Amino acid sequence: MSRPRAPSSPADSTARPRHWRRGAARLLTLMLMSGIAIALAVLSTQHAPSLDLSEAGRNSLHAQSLRLLSLLDRPVQVIGFARPHSPTARAMRQLTERYTRHSSHIQPRIVDPAQDPLLARSLNIKALGELWLLTETRRERVEALDEAAMSNALFRLLADERRVSAVLTGHGEPEIDGQARDALSAFFARATELGHTVRPLSLATGQKVPEDVDLLVLLPLRQPLLAHEQRAIQRYVEDGGNLLWLAEPGQVPGEHDGLHGLSRDLGLSFEDGVIIDPTSRVQGRPTPEFIVVSEYARHALFEDFSSNTVFVSSAAISWQAAPGWRVKGVASSALRSWLERGPLDRAVRFDAGQDLAGPLDLMVSLERQRPARQGEVASTQRVIACADVDFLSNAYLGLAANSALADRLLRWLSETDARLPIERIGATDLDFDPTNRERALVALGAPIALPLLMLLCATWLWRRQRR
């Protein structure tokens, strides 16, 4: 016989609706929070808001960079060569993201050279970590992973003004468009990419250097200049023309080739012979005739540049500043090097009575104030003399950082090395130099005091709930 069910109390009848109301409220809250999260996720795919809380605004772009991005009217590929998940790739993405927030023309991607060797070879990539900007006709290398380097590379890439570089020919100079190892076609192809119009120049018929020439290039001569050619070159320099003067051992400028007058005007003397560096090693083997330069003079040509360059069978330059000129040796051989003036078909050693002891200048810069013409602003005339031409040849342009040095020479001599006034800002808000007392506090607090504090809090909460 079943027992009669006890009637429900009024408390039970009121508790049940209250329970359902609480469940419904929780469900509505969950649905509301989920809706907000979904809406934020959708908005985040359409917009990329960011807030820079660093002290100096290091994660935002300067006004100059924003102005530069506003002038973009064509796509710019930003290609970083790195392993996809490496810290370098992460740094590249963080840098390029600051630009993609403000311009859809910036198109970044990370490339593993092992996966795309053809692209790496076309840009002469020698190591991971290089960042390049490319348009359909131009390309520029970003020299460091920061805003200053990135914006300046973009600034150079967008420069529309072309420069005329004239190369003196007709005297047995190295070929400027050949494919031989000692030709200079790769160097002048790079000049074209940097905005130069490269053209051969013959002065044999008696004309002067054209007025539209921005840079005159003198290569090692195998036949002497005619008298009127000498005068034309000297007049070009007297009138303020920029000059790149390249020599090599056995063909240094002097009385025999008609360039002694120019040497005298500039206060330069090319010392014949080959610089020997007994400490030099290239690709792991002794190479005494290869001069590896890793330190440079303080000069605009080498600003933010610390890579090794390699000069091959170089002569030396001595100088005495001519009136009005500022002269500086910008690249020199090592302390233990010397200029070998004897034959190289035997074991060489330094002969105090014959050879010149190092360090020896193998590249010299000259500057002077160019006289202002009517309606023009005064500017600086620029000359580079180098006792080696092989470092720019097809055989050695890709060695070490020679190609980067070639870019800098072309920019500086053509006066296209202007930089945006963007300062590299340090992370001053991240500086932390604790005292000994603060160091002890951190050392004891993190592994001991903090866990004890958490244990005490947990014990207090447990005892409170038990009551």
Residues of the chain with pLDDT > 70, as a percent, come to 86
Quick count: other Cβ atoms within 10 Å of Cβ 54? Answer: 13
Q: 87, 125 in Cβ contact below 8 A?
A: no
The whole-angstrom separation of Cα 241 and Cα 447 is 69
pLDDT value of position 181: 94
Name the residue with tokens 């030396």: 316
- On the question of a cis peptide bond just before residue 84, with omega within 30 degrees of 0, the verdict is no
Q: How confident is the model at residue 225 (pLDDT cuts 50, 70, 90)?
A: very high
| Pick from 71-80, 148-157, 223-232: least confident | 148-157
| Pick from 239-253, 325-339, 368-382, 400-414: least confident | 368-382
pLDDT value of position 52: 53
CB within 8 Å of 77: residues ≥ 6 apart? 107, 108, 109, 132, 133, 134, 135
Domains of the chain: 63-155 (3.40.30.10), 161-413 (3.40.50)
Tell me the sheet residues that pair with 285: 282
Is the predicted pLDDT of residue 151 greater than 60, yes or no? yes
If one compares 22 and 55, the residue with the highest pLDDT of the two is: 22
Q: What is the dihedral of CA 95, 99, 101, 102, to 10 degrees?
A: 160
Is the predicted pLDDT of residue 265 greater than 60, yes or no? yes
| Pick from 77-81, 189-193, 222-226, 442-446: least confident | 442-446
If one compares 86 and 375, the residue with the highest pLDDT of the two is: 86
Tell me the sheet residues that pair with 79: 109, 132
Report the DSSP pairing between strands 215-218 and 163-168.
Answer: parallel
Is the predicted pLDDT of residue 420 greater than 60, yes or no? yes
CA atoms within 13 A on the CB side of 5: 3
pLDDT value of position 428: 45
Q: How confident is the model at residue 427 (pLDDT cuts 50, 70, 90)?
A: very low
Q: 368, 379 in Cβ contact below 8 A?
A: no
Burial class (CB in 10 A: 0-12, 13-18, 19+), 330: buried
Q: Which range among 26-35, 201-210, 452-461 has the greatest average pLDDT? A: 201-210
Report the DSSP pairing between strands 268-271 and 163-168.
Answer: unpaired
pLDDT value of position 177: 92
pLDDT value of position 426: 46
Q: 143, 124 in Cβ contact below 8 A?
A: no
Reported as type and span, the H/E element at residue 36 is: helix 10-46
Burial class (CB in 10 A: 0-12, 13-18, 19+), 245: buried
pLDDT digits (tens, 9 = 90+) for 158-196: 776 678 999 999 999 999 999 999 999 999 998 988 889
Q: What are phi and psi for residue 161, nearest 5 degrees?
A: -70, 125
